[in-house]
Amino acid sequence: MILAAHDHGGDGPPILLLHGAGGDMSAWNVVAPQLNGRCVAVDLRGHGKSPDGPWDWDAVLDDLEATTVQFGLDNPVVVGHSLGGILAGMWARRHPGCPAAVSLDGHRSAATDPANYAGLAPEQVEADLAKLNAIFTAQEEMITRPNREITSTLRNSPEFADALPIFAEVTVPFLLVLATKNLPVPPDLIPLMDAHRAGLRRDLPKICPNVRVHEIDATHGMVFEQPAEVAAVVNGFISG
């Protein structure tokens, strides 16, 4: 599939930029000019101006392969936000010669396996997950792009629920940037979000000792809230 994409130009190594679920390439409009490299941002299949198509992880990676050929990106660094961060890890696993990959708060869905939450009673986790999934279902019904097929596939995908096993298989330099603040949620779900973050802090050193972790004072929307800091962190990791 040929993806819609925008070449931001720039000097330095090629950088492929991948947005999050429900977003598009415009997510990188502020960050891309601050990155030290030639940046190309894409619309993933089913998003933005790219064509629709069934969500299959290998097929999505093939789309990205075609984009790198189309734009002449030779062995790019891959930087992704949220869903794009999961794909950055998958790309790095597929390309062991990749110079580096960065995931900006792309790791586990907010509604993941109950065992992935730390510091909250199991019965509270189950009750809060039911509330959170009800919110996601209501939101899904209102979204037109990506379509319901893609959103449903993602919500039920093991890779989307927990990408840490994928990250554990990455052998290239890999940075995971974690948000320290919660997105706006109903007050009664704040403990669940805190437990989600605590679970990541507990599990990352055990499951993914190969991954460098950096925390940033922002919510999951860090690309929009702290673009200069995000760019500085990415630039420092790539140059290092």
pLDDT tens string 99-125:
999 999 999 999 999 999 999 999 999
- Confidence label for 141 from pLDDT (cuts 50, 70 and 90): confident
Q: Rounded to the nearest 10 degrees, what angle do helices 148-155 and 122-142 cross at?
A: 170
Residue 121: domain span: 5-239
Give the rounded percent of residues in the chain with a pLDDT score beyond 90.
94
Taking 90 as the threshold, does the pLDDT of residue 60 lie above it?
A: yes
Total of domains in the chain: 1
What is the reported pLDDT for 139?
84
Neighbours of 151 (CB within 10 A): 21
Instruction: Decide: residue 88, CB within 10 A, 0-12 exposed, 13-18 middle, 19+ buried.
Output: buried
Q: Is the pTM of this model over 0.75?
A: yes
In angstroms, the Cα distances linking 109 to 84, 100, 115, 156, 235 are: 13, 23, 13, 10, 26
The CATH number of residue 161's host domain is: 3.40.50.1820
